[in-house]
């Protein structure tokens, strides 16, 4: 058994490298990698001529020679669809390509959700203008605008007026070229396998969820032989007053019956699009005051940043599950690993521009070797990703992403207080401001509940997962 990994970088590279190091497993030292890194030069120069169908045809010719027997990818922009296409072409287990495209075409996904579960949908419409064209009259504001096809929250923002929409969508020639090159590989394939969706070279407008009581969450799960089961729900915590993620906490504080409702919504949607095989992620809001669940979007792959959280708390290895799926085996039969924590967090360190004066606005120094050594000595269980940039290279981050993310730290703890204490101390060692809402003046709530409540809210959904 040899697995081809597509666009295997960052969290995915870490996850599969860890598996490759495990001796005695069927997947040990049995990986091959193809694709390129969108975020580093010169690797991302491949974007200039990248074509998904040509890429798949090349891989298909290599498959028998290289003895590949399955393919996996958790990469949103190209990898998930490429893996589905190659699996389909080779007759390997995989997600139906049209189902992947149906998730990634955000307008089409809204249209399907409106048919099967309208109560969980947000009002939406295609922006009646191509990229770079003036904002038309007759639109309602405020509006949440984002590309029909994108990843990593690129170019997703709330706009308050026609003028703000016009300004936000004034892309320079280079920006327009990059956007079109990111979308075009998907566009060419989607026209063939999902023609009813229409062009992906446009933006979608959605009614924003403005209630201060609405909190954001992610449901993760697996479809195997058409049976859809949950992995868990992760709490998404924002920097106060922004749409930028500050932390992802697991397990969730969301009540069990709401987690079950989220699974019901996901099941209806995934069944409707034929998503019968693969990992998935559903982002959603829940407003407890009005008991309203609103879907943000569906992702046809695991949320790679969360895999480590599930491993720490549940002893469930999503990367091992991905490999089982790639070869048509039941991922739920994998043995559970002993958990190392009761709670875990993925803490995101960011800086902002002067539009957010209550938030960090300077790039801190990257930690020195001495600091990293101290961090490793005190927190040997940590995971750290760093994204160094100079202050002069962050302008596009602010426009496209709303902030500059310079680091991500993963830690576990035995309870909420322990995790908070560990996060504060680790941040201090790094020389970075701790990602806690209480550290910022406009913080108005604590997203997580006290530990007694957290324990009381252990989900039936989670219990089903562990016995599946």
Domain boundary assignment for the chain: 3-92, 119-206, 214-467
Q: Report the pLDDT averaged over residues 134-162.
A: 84
- Higher model confidence: residue 400 or residue 106? 106
Report CA-CA distances (Å) from 174 to 16, 155, 178, 222, 308: 35, 15, 6, 39, 36
Least confident of 60-64, 109-113, 259-263, 457-461: 457-461
Do you find a cis peptide bond into 255, omega within 30 degrees of 0? Answer: no
**What is the C-alpha to C-alpha distance for residues 437 and 443, in angstroms, rounded to an integer?**
5
pLDDT (tens digit per residue) in 209-258 = 988 899 999 999 999 999 999 999 999 999 888 888 999 999 999 999 99
pLDDT (tens digit per residue) in 291-331 = 999 999 999 999 999 999 999 999 999 999 999 999 999 99
Helix or strand (DSSP H, E) at 109: helix 106-116
DSSP E strands in 171-323: the ranges are: 203-206, 214-224, 227-238, 245-250, 278-287, 292-299
Q: What does 394-458 look like in DSSP terms, one character per residue?
A: -HHHHHHHSSEEEEEEEEEESSHHHHHHHHHHHHHHHT-----GGGSTT----SSPPHHHHHHT-
Residue 367 above 90 pLDDT?
Answer: yes
What is the average pLDDT value for the chain, to the nearest integer? 88
Percent of the chain with pLDDT over 90: 68
pLDDT of amino acid 425:
98
Q: Report the pLDDT averaged over residues 44-52.
A: 92
Residue 459 above 50 pLDDT?
Answer: no
Q: Report the pLDDT averaged over residues 86-109.
A: 98
Range with top average pLDDT, 8-12, 28-32, 368-372: 368-372
Superfamily for domain range 214-467: ATP-grasp fold, B domain (3.30.470.20)
> What angle (nearest 5°) sits at the alpha carbon of residue 43, between those of residues 39 and 47?
80
pLDDT of amino acid 466:
32
Q: Report the pLDDT averaged over residues 409-438.
A: 96
Least confident of 275-284, 405-414, 455-464: 455-464
At 422, list the tokens: 């560990």
At 171, list the tokens: 């892309």
pLDDT (tens digit per residue) in 427-443 = 999 999 999 988 876 54
Alpha helices in 7-51 (DSSP H): 11-20
| Residue 124: pLDDT band with limits 50, 70, 90 | very high
Q: Report the pLDDT averaged over residues 367-386.
A: 97
**What is the C-alpha to C-alpha distance for residues 468 and 464, in angstroms, rounded to an integer?**
6
């Amino acid at each position: 058994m040899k697995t081809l990994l597509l666009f295997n970088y960052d969290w995915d590279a870490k996850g599969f490298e860890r598996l490759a190091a495990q001796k005695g497993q069927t997947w040990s030292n049995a990986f091959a990698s193809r694709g390129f890194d969108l975020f580093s030069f010169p690797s991302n120069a491949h974007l200039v001529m990248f074509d998904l169908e040509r890429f798949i045809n090349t891989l298909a010719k290599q498959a028998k020679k290289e003895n590949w027997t399955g393919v996996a990818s958790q990469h949103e922009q190209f990898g998930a669809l490429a893996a589905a296409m190659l699996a389909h072409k080779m007759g390997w287990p995989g997600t139906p390509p049209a189902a992947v495209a149906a998730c990634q075409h955000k307008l089409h996904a809204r249209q399907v959700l409106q048919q099967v579960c309208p109560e969980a949908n947000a009002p939406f419409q295609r922006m009646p203008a191509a990229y770079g064209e003036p904002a038309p009259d007759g639109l309602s504001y405020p509006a949440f605008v984002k590309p029909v096809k994108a990843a990593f929250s690129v170019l997703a923002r709330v706009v308050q007026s026609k003028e703000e929409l016009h300004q936000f969508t004034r892309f320079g020639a280079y920006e327009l070229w990059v956007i079109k090159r990111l979308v075009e590989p998907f566009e060419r394939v989607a026209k063939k396998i999902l023609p009813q969706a229409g062009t992906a070279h446009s933006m979608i407008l959605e009614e924003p969820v403005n209630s201060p009581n609405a909190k954001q969450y992610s449901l993760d799960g697996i479809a195997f032989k058409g049976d859809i089961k949950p992995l868990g729900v992760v709490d998404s915590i924002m920097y106060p007053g922004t749409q930028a993620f500050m932390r992802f906490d697991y397990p969730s504080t969301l009540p069990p019956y709401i987690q079950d409702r989220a699974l019901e919504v996901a099941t209806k949607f995934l069944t409707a699009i034929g998503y019968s095989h693969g990992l998935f992620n559903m982002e959603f809001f829940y407003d407890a005051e009005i008991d309203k669940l609103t879907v943000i979007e569906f992702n046809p792959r695991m949320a790679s940043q969360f895999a480590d959280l599930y491993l720490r708390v549940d002893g469930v290895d999503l990367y091992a599950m991905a490999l089982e799926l790639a070869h048509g085996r039941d991922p739920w039969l994998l043995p559970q690993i002993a958990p190392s924590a009761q709670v875990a967090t993925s803490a995101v360190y960011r800086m902002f521009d002067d539009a957010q004066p209550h938030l960090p606005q300077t790039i801190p120094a990257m930690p020195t070797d001495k600091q990293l050594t101290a961090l490793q000595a005190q927190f040997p269980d940590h995971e750290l990703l760093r994204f160094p940039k100079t202050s002069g290279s962050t302008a596009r981050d602010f426009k496209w992403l709303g902030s500059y993310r310079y680091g991500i730290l993963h830690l576990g703890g035995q309870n909420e207080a322990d995790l908070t204490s560990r996060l504060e101390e680790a941040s201090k060692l790094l020389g970075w401001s701790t990602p806690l809402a209480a550290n910022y003046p406009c913080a108005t709530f604590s997203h997580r509940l006290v530990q007694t409540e957290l324990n009381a809210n252990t989900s039936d959904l989670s219990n089903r997962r562990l016995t599946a």
